[in-house]
Structure 1
Amino acid sequence: MKLEHRPHRYDDGTIRIGGEVYGIAAEIEDPYGWVWTALSLMDGTRSPGQIAERLSDAHPKVPDAASIVEQLVASGYVEDVAAMPPGELEERELDRYSRNHAFFRAVDLAPRGHGWEAQLRLKTARVVVLGLGGTGSHAAWALAAAGVGAIHCVDPDLVELSNLNRQILYCEDDVGRPKADAAVARLRTVNSDITVTGERLRISSREDLGDLITGCDALALCADRPDGHRIRVWANRACAAAGIPWAGGGYNGPLVTVGMFAPGVGTCYECLSAGEEARRRPRTPVDLGGPGAIATSAGLSGQLVAHAVLGLLTGVPLPPVGTIQGVNLVAPDHHVWVRHPPRPDCPICGSRTELDLP
């Protein structure tokens, strides 16, 4: 059994598996003690066949010991301790990403060969981070730290002194320097095992954005110009045309949100936006942000975007695509959860299927 999911048996025979702290716990009714015996035998010293044999010896009336063992292995709460790390990862990478491995192992309930599958997907992935301000600088740092193999950083602006209260990639010596250049230099010191590139570029059309994301695996949209809504529409259409997922996030004072979208799955950004517009009372003003920002709101925003991109790339944890979620830093009971059905006539998401990620 995975250490994070050590089983517990209650007095009535019910078995609880899976860390409750992760929100992925399961309960099994085990009136005869068959499952508990099988779990107790899963201590890393026996093969599935040996466990089934010992289970049959301990409980002669068990109808199908092998099936019980197979179902427990398929549950995702079990790992093969004899599995060797993949050869595609160097020794230093196994050390660097050991905490990533423990995280993915804990939250991933899909049976895997060695537990490093998510990290290997990150190693071969290419992500464009568009916008390197408060949200983008934190997102780019997190993606680099997590081991995304290639990150391309894009921003048209120069570093200003007022940026330094929240934009993690820059210091005082960077004031006046292109953000893209400063970000690339800093990220290369964060993780020398990945490739980091950048360019100073202003996106002025959907075609510009389409050209930028050619050949990438995901887009982290952290820019808010020409205006927050318009550039998200461009991303919605460009990513749909390219067949790649994207996540976009930001903050409005203490309100921090992130949206996750994948072509062919769930609701697209434009349908989600139209659903929210229809839900609001007519002529309700919409405030898309202002100058109010601190390091914590920017940091949370960027980390949520990065977390969404990691989920889109690996499927661990499976991201709720077609939604916007978030938190309000001054109202702890205000949780943002926006979900609307696709519009039937939408050319991007008029017909949707279940999420199908790696």
Structure 2
Amino acid sequence: MIPRLKSLNCLAHDGELVVSLDPKVRVRVADPDGRVLALLRLLLDGTRDVPALADALRGQGFAATPPDVQGVVAQLDGLGWLEDAAAPSTFDDHDRERYASNLFWFDAFTTLDVPREEPQRRLRDAHVLVLGAGGLGSAVLMNLAGLGVGALTVVDQDLVELRNFARQFTYTEAEVGQPKALRVADWLRAFDQSLRVEAERRRVESTQDVADLLRRVRPDVVVSAIDEPDEVDRWVNAACVAAGVPFVRGGLAYTQGLYWAVDPGVSACRECLERHRERLADGIDREAVQWPRVLQQQRVNRAIGPVAQVLGGFVALEALRFLTADLPGMPRPVSAGRYQLVDLAGDCSTRADPWPADPACPVCATAPARRTAAAA
């Protein structure tokens, strides 16, 4: 292991350092004799192991032993300031250049034990199933391709229409009347020839449809970008929970963007939400459940291009969190068992609205983690 200092800012004055890796966070370090700054400078080029760092510090007149330096290195690593310059590379020059921004992003979270290429490798080995290739689905697919997700399967029943072009940018007017699933697959392959892309033109009509897809595709994560028929969320939920596959769902409620997710056996699921709503029907939502509907609002798609792109980014980012969640230091999913709501007609502020897990939920009981625990 060869510790190397990440690119950061450091101010020095009167025996004190102010160090900032993230502009939001400043760390003050007492350095009365200058040895901490000397060590930071020695760490910059990533050419010395701990004994060599101790030797170099002694050469500058500082008393330092390898155990002393190892302790400071551990503290700096705990702050997220170090990476391992000797970590084996899993990508060639082409891929390191192609995914340069991704690697710099991962650098914000990685440590000596988790090199920046490891999250990218996880993505290249991952398979995501995307249900729907409309405004949200196509935006998610564009983002997943840019992230370098290695395998994508897209399912959609619709044909390209002229009205799509206000918010769907993977299609052209020459493709009007052609299947979206096939055309977006062509776009993905052209964008990155190394992607493994499968496309199916079909309609999701039952839990069994989704379960069959999961058995055949074996994805690591599912993104659901379809909202018809009304039962589709419960179908996707039931199939994914039983298969132990996390899924992320995004959409638009009038002008409010939203996304939520289910982590089977860990978070509350969609069925938990439906059962929670049924309990609320006895209280504040009684009118919505019991009163007759005398006017029906027309269902239209208000997702303009910027809205679809913003939501697609949020959903793809949450898929990324699921795919890399088991790596130390990487961000965890933020929407499992909770709505993340975005005020797109206002100041674009966000808020979270969680729902409770139901201990008696029959769908949660089918999650592999729950079945294993029950059998133990």
Given the superposition, is the C-alpha separation of residues 293 and 115 from structure 1 closer, same or farther in structure 2, using an over 3 Å criterion?
closer
1:187 aligned residue: 188
* Cα distance in 1 between the residues matched to 2:254 and 2:201: 27
Is 1:177 aligned to 2:178, yes or no? yes
TM-score by length of 1: 0.84
Shift of 1:54: 4.4
Bigger mean CA offset, 166-175 vs 53-62 = 53-62
Is 1:306 aligned to 2:320, yes or no? no
Is 1:65 aligned to 2:69, yes or no? yes
2:163 aligned residue: 162
Bigger mean CA offset, 294-303 vs 34-43 = 34-43
Shift of 1:307: 1.2
Deviations 1:229-273 (A, max 9, x none): x22222222111111111110113431111132223233233345
Q: Percent identity, aligned pairs only?
A: 33
* Cα distance in 2 between the residues matched to 1:191 and 1:42: 36
Q: Are the counterparts in 1 of residues 225 and 251 from structure 2 also a CA contact under 8 Å?
A: yes
Given the superposition, is the C-alpha separation of residues 197 and 117 from structure 1 closer, same or farther in structure 2, using an over 3 Å criterion?
same
2:222 aligned residue: 219
Is 1:102 aligned to 2:116, yes or no? no
Bigger mean CA offset, 265-274 vs 159-168 = 265-274
Given the superposition, is the C-alpha separation of residues 176 and 348 from structure 1 closer, same or farther in structure 2, using an over 3 Å criterion?
same
Shift of 1:111: 3.5
* Cα distance in 1 between the residues matched to 2:73 and 2:272: 45
Pairs within 5 Å for 1:194-273: 194-214=195-215, 215-227=218-230, 230-272=231-273
Shift of 1:288: 11
* Cα distance in 1 between the residues matched to 2:165 and 2:348: 30
Given the superposition, is the C-alpha separation of residues 98 and 29 from structure 1 closer, same or farther in structure 2, using an over 3 Å criterion?
closer
Q: Are the counterparts in 1 of residues 188 and 195 from structure 2 also a CA contact under 8 Å?
A: no
Q: Are the counterparts in 2 of residues 188 and 196 from structure 1 also a CA contact under 8 Å?
A: yes
2:306 aligned residue: 296
Out of 339, 342, 345, which is 1:330 matched to? 345
1:27 aligned residue: 27
Shift of 1:314: 1.6
Q: Are the counterparts in 2 of residues 52 and 69 from structure 1 also a CA contact under 8 Å?
A: no
* Cα distance in 1 between the residues matched to 2:15 and 2:298: 54
1:219 partner letter: V
Shift of 1:166: 0.6
Structure 1: state its 5+ residue gaps. Answer: 354-358
Shift of 1:52: 3.9
TM-score by length of 2: 0.81
Q: Are the counterparts in 2 of residues 255 and 327 from structure 1 also a CA contact under 8 Å?
A: yes
2:245 partner letter: I
Shift of 1:53: 4.4
CA RMSD of aligned residues (A): 3.1
* Cα distance in 2 between the residues matched to 1:28 and 1:181: 55
1:51 aligned residue: 53
Paired positions, count: 344
Q: Are the counterparts in 2 of residues 263 and 348 from structure 1 also a CA contact under 8 Å?
A: no
2:292 aligned residue: none
1:356 aligned residue: none
2:21 aligned residue: 18
2:16 partner letter: G
Shift of 1:7: 4.1
Larger Rg: 2
* Cα distance in 2 between the residues matched to 1:99 and 1:119: 11
2:147 aligned residue: 146
* Cα distance in 1 between the residues matched to 2:341 and 2:299: 15
Out of 312, 331, 342, which is 1:317 matched to? 331
